[in-house]
């Protein structure tokens, strides 16, 4: 262990700052940025109100409700060679009997009949010819070739039951197949069929969960940011997915066969899936849960192998993190609870919000503009470093992932997750010490952690009242969200190719694989890869209310990104002000991770070379020299976040005024004040406790709280978000079905084919309760799916619908599927 005593050791010379790819003053001229007046700056900076477009990617949790005899997951486990071999080895005494007993209990003791991330089985004869054609095309090994042979694993997706042919598919692909079926009838209007075919490309999958991304980029609503429009588009996409799931349940006979598919927002890997993961091998886990990538990629098998690679690498990386904990002195002896060889963190679900700049994209499109990949990289990296200082404002404030941890589970090798790969050992030790204090893990004045044997830890917990802890956003701790740079290979020094060099270093260290994209909190979306120039915020977990939480989060993301470019083009912050050194990178990111864990304080070197962070700390109230760590300043997280709000008012008044972001900042001030009752984390926690009949999360065990959270997400929150989306849809169809649209005559025949002359808003109102309660018949569901396709198409072609914007947006977000 390397103790923190005396003055901190001097840092090695940081990586030399990148040389500007273009002189700043020349670039100001090239981009047409007006630095003469604040108003001119607010009009001409990248990522200001009129310059920004936005899109989102959402990962959904899925489950199949039914008995074990009908649900695919249970049937696959029971019929597997793994299960049969385990039973035989247990009978011979080669495997402890408790392993087979635990697996049988997993199958038997599912009283709620919920099987998360199970696949479904549906009869082939239930599909329309067009849906069968889509499935056959997706089975091609190379979708770019019409003469391509079938995938080598095509047999996985077909089974024979009672003499009939059935498909076995994940729910992520079920969404696309349901859409193909709903628009595949010959009677469907061509406009609707074309819209459905285009929409299919937006239904993908993450490693396990279904994933959708925006059907079209959105821009600002008049005098406010793009957040409200993005929240509306996200709500409609969620509702569209609900209609498709309900259609599949009815049309494909899933309900009749005892398998009701469901889809909802939930941030954490399911508890039962975690328990199953501890009972099976990593390879068997991948065969049960990894996405087969049937949709969204030309070479689905190659993408499927990539999914396997991600799981294998993160599982290995988690084991290497334990070694780092030993090196950091956090694990003081060799008594550890080894993590499973299969890491389940990839089953988490979050939201990514991408922002594009019309100004930067336009320059990248023009080879003679003088703004190319080198300039995009140089200033983009600096913008990321600046924005990372503001990210603590988002954690728990707009999105959250509340989680309860019992004392028995409070082993550092479990709760610290991937933090050894994300933080310097100094900050890791500081965070861990303060976290233990927050969790009140003391016996006779001495901090302790669980010893390992469950009976002993349970006895200690009961005898000394050790309850563990409650965390506002455990998803950001449990998942690898931001890899730390190495001494030789910084990721954000502004040099082309720096990410490749860092990934090679991390691969040599057993932390990562060079074939995978670098995990970052705020990631550049480069023009050459994505077709637009911008950034992707990957730090969002669960939004309780899309309009109330996602909208202001997207607006705030736009503001801090624009402020970063103001700092850059006014010369206030350069690469040299935020040196590229692992310790300095960790110093700013520790605040983010500490906020996610609910740790109330952090420590910054009094002589930190990070000039931006030093300025922020000086402006923070209630700071003092640390009594424990000489040469460090103690900062309270709540004070730091309130300082960031004041700093936005101080440094970006013209951006706030021009962007109409006054209400967003006022709302942010309320959320960061007091005990967080206005935050997403506070509201979600309160509602979960209310549903569990408890006054506070610490009044419940981890199983009780986390199970109550899953049930809340799956039932009550899902219904609420469907109702909110129905409100949005009712408003949007008024524009689709309005007089100005009818006069243009674009959708008249298609609308008449769906509604027969009825009012669209009235039709939605009449079906509202049936949509929420999932009792609609197949013909009505098909009609609503067609109406939704027309609504989304109208919104894409007419950004004025629902907002006073002018012009049609460039479709910068849909050409290339995002890669994770």
pLDDT tens by residue, 473-506 = 999 999 999 999 999 999 999 999 999 999 999 9
The CA distance from 758 to 727, in Å, is 19
Residue where the block lists tokens 């233990």: 436
C-alpha to C-alpha distance for 94 and 96, rounded to whole angstroms = 7
Q: Whose structure tokens read 């004869």?
A: 125
pLDDT digits (tens, 9 = 90+) for 692-726: 999 999 999 999 999 999 999 999 999 999 999 99
Report the distance separating Cα 781 and Cα 427, nearest Å.
54
| Both structure tokens of 19 | 């040389």
What average pLDDT score do residues 340-369 get? Answer: 94
Taking the C-alpha atoms of 281, 289, 416 and 452 in order, what is their torsion angle to the nearest 10 degrees? -40
Average pLDDT over residues 680-685: 98
- Residue 159 contacts residue 123 (beta carbons within 8 Å): no
Residue 89 pLDDT greater than 90, yes or no: yes
Q: Report the pLDDT value the prediction gives residue 5, as an integer from 0 to 100.
A: 47
Q: What is the pLDDT of residue 450?
A: 87
Which of 551, 542, 474, 481 minimizes the C-alpha distance to 264? 542
CA dist 165 and 132 (Å) reads 13
Q: What region, left, alpha or beta, does residue 372 occupy, with left being phi > 0 and alpha being psi -120 to 50 degrees?
A: beta
In 3D space, the residue among 14, 4, 2, 1 whose CA is nearest the CA of residue 583 turns out to be 14
Task: Determine the Cα–Cα distance for residues 5 and 368; give it in Å rounded to an integer.
Answer: 56
Three-class SS of residue 189? coil
Residues 6+ apart with CB under 8 A from 606: 625, 631, 632, 633
Phi, psi of 636 (to 5 degrees): -85, 135
656 vs 224: CA distance, rounded Å: 10
Q: What is the mean pLDDT of the chain?
A: 92
Tally of residues, the chain: 820
Residue 268 pLDDT > 80? yes
Could you give the 3-state DSSP secondary structure of residue 540? strand
Least confident of 16-30, 148-162, 450-464, 698-712: 16-30
Reply yes or no on whether the pLDDT at 104 is more than 50.
yes
Contact 411, 337 (CB under 8 A): yes
- Contact between 304 and 183 under an 8 Å Cβ cutoff? The reply is no
| CA separation, residue 619 to residues 269, 428, 594, 646 (Å) | 39, 25, 20, 9
- Residue from 263, 72, 274, 820 nearest 516 by CA: 820
Backbone torsion region of residue 660, taken as left when φ is above 0, otherwise alpha when ψ lies between -120 and 50, otherwise beta? left
Q: How many CB atoms lie within 10 A of CB 811?
A: 16
Q: Residue 709 corresponds to which tokens in the numbers above? A: 């959270």
Mean pLDDT of 194-202: 96
Q: Is the pLDDT of residue 820 over 60?
A: no
User: Count of CB atoms within 10 A of residue 768's CB?
Assistant: 16
On the question of pLDDT at 815 being above 80, the answer is: no
Winning range, highest mean pLDDT, from 448-452, 534-538, 673-677: 534-538
pLDDT average, residue stretch 52-73? 97
Q: Is the pTM of this model over 0.85?
A: yes
**CB 559, CB 391: distance < 8 Å:** no
Residues 49, 55, 61, 65, CA torsion sign: positive
Main-chain phi, psi angles of 461, to 5 degrees: -60, -45
pLDDT > 80? residue 339: no
- pLDDT tens, 384-438? 999 999 999 999 999 999 999 999 999 999 999 999 999 999 999 999 999 999 9
- Examine the pLDDT at 19 and tell me if it is beyond 90: no
Is the pLDDT at 761 greater than 80? The verdict is yes
For residue 248, count other CB atoms closer than 10 A to its CB: 27
| Percent of the chain residues topping a pLDDT of 90 | 83
């Amino acid at each position: 262990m390397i103790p923190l005593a005396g003055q901190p050791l001097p840092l090695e010379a940081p990586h030399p700052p990148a040389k500007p790819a273009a002189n700043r003053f020349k670039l100001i001229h090239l981009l047409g940025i007006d630095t003469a007046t604040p108003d001119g700056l607010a009009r001409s900076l990248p990522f200001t109100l009129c310059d920004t477009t936005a899109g989102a990617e959402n990962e959904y949790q899925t489950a199949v409700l039914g008995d074990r005899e009908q649900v695919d997951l249970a049937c696959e486990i029971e019929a597997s060679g793994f299960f049969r071999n385990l039973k035989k080895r247990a009978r011979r005494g080669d495997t402890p009997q408790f392993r087979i007993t635990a697996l049988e209990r997993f199958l038997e003791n599912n009283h709620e009949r919920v099987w998360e991330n199970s696949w479904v089985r549906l009869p082939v004869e239930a599909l329309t010819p067009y849906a069968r054609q889509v499935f056959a095309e997706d089975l091609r090994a190379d979708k770019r070739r019409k003469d391509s042979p079938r995938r080598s694993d095509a047999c996985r997706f077909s089974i024979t039951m009672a003499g009939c042919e059935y498909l076995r598919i994940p729910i992520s692909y079920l969404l696309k197949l349901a859409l193909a079926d709903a628009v595949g009838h010959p009677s469907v209007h061509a406009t609707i069929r074309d819209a459905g075919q285009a929409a299919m490309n937006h239904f993908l999958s993450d490693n396990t969960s279904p994933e959708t991304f925006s059907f079209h980029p959105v821009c600002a609503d008049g005098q406010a940011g793009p957040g409200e429009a993005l929240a509306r588009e996200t709500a409609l996409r969620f509702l569209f997915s609900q209609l498709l799931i309900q259609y599949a349940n009815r049309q494909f006979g899933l309900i009749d066969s005892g398998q009701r598919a469901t889809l909802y927002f939930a941030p954490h890997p399911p508890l039962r899936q975690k328990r199953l993961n501890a009972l099976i091998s990593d390879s068997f886990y991948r065969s049960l849960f990894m996405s087969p990538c049937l949709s969204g990629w030309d070479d689905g098998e190659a993408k499927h192998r990539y999914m396997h690679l991600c799981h294998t690498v993160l599982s290995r990386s988690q084991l290497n993190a334990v070694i780092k904990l030993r090196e950091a002195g956090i694990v003081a002896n060799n008594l550890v609870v080894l993590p499973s060889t299969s890491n389940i963190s990839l089953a988490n679900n979050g939201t990514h919000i991408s922002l594009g700049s019309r100004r930067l994209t336009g320059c990248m499109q023009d080879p003679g503009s003088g703004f190319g990949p080198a300039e995009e990289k140089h200033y983009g990296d600096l913008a990321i470093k600046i924005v990372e200082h503001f990210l603590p404002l988002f954690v728990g404030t707009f999105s959250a992932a509340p989680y309860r941890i019992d004392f028995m589970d409070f082993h550092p090798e479990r709760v610290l997750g991937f933090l050894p790969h994300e933080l310097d050992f100094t900050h890791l030790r500081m965070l861990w010490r303060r976290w233990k204090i927050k969790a009140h893990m003391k016996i006779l004045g001495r901090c302790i952690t669980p010893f390992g044997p469950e009976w002993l830890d349970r006895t200690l917990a009961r005898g000394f009242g050790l309850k563990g802890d409650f965390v506002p956003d455990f998803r950001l701790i449990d998942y690898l969200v931001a890899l730390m740079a190495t001494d030789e290979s910084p990721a954000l020094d502004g040099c082309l190719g720096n990410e490749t060099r860092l990934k090679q270093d991390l691969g040599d260290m057993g932390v990562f694989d060079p074939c995978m994209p670098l995990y970052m909190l705020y990631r550049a979306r480069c023009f050459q890869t994505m077709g637009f120039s911008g950034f992707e915020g990957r730090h969002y977990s669960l939004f309780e209310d899309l309009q109330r939480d996602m909208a202001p989060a997207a607006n705030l993301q736009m503001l801090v990104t624009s402020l970063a470019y103001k700092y850059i083009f006014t010369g206030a912050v350069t690469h040299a002000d935020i040196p590229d050194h692992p310790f300095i990178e960790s110093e700013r990111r520790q605040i983010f991770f500490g906020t996610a864990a609910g740790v109330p304080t952090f420590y910054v070197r009094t002589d930190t070379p990070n000039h931006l962070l030093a300025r922020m700390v000086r402006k923070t109230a209630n700071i003092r020299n640390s009594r424990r760590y000489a040469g460090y300043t103690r900062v309270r997280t709540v004070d730091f976040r309130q300082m960031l709000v004041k700093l936005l008012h101080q440094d970006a008044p013209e951006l706030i005024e021009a962007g109409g972001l006054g209400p967003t900042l006022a709302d942010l001030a309320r959320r960061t004040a007091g005990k967080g009752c206005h935050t997403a984390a506070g509201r979600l926690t309160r509602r979960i406790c209310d549903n569990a009949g408890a006054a506070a999360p610490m009044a419940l065990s981890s199983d009780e709280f986390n199970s109550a959270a899953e049930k809340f997400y799956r039932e009550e929150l899902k219904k609420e978000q469907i109702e909110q989306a129905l409100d949005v849809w009712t408003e949007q169809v008024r524009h689709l079905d309005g007089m100005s649209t009818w006069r243009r005559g674009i959708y008249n025949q298609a609308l008449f084919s769906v509604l027969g002359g009825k009012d669209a808003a009235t039709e939605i109102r009449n079906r509202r309760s049936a949509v929420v309660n999932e009792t609609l018949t197949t013909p009505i569901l098909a009609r609503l799916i067609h109406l939704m396709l027309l609504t989304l198409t109208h919104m894409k072609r007419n950004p004025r619908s629902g907002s006073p914007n002018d012009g049609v947006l460039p479709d910068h977000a849909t050409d290339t599927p995002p890669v994770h």
